[in-house]
Structure 1
Amino acid sequence: MQIPQATVEAIVLSSIRQYTALLVEQEELRLVAAKAGQIERRLRDEEKAVRLLEESITKHYMALVAGDITQDTFMKKKAIVNETSAHKQAEMERLREQRTAVDDGEVAIQENIVRFRAMQSIETLDRTIVDALIDHILVYGEKDIQIVWADRLQLRRKAS
Structure 2
Amino acid sequence: MNQNHLQIRAATAEDREIAYKMICGLENMVLDRQNFNVVFDRNLKNNNIRYFLAFYENVAVGIVSCHIQSLLHHAALVSEIQEMYVEPEFRSQNIGSVLIARAIDFARKAGAVQMEVTSRSTREQAHRFYEQAGFEKSHVKLVRYFKNEE
User: Shorter-chain TM-score category?
Assistant: under 0.3
Bigger strand fraction: 2
- Structure showing greater relative contact order (alpha-carbon pairs closer than 8 Å, 6 or more residues apart): 1
TM-score if structure 1 supplies the norm length? 0.22
TM-score if structure 2 supplies the norm length? 0.23
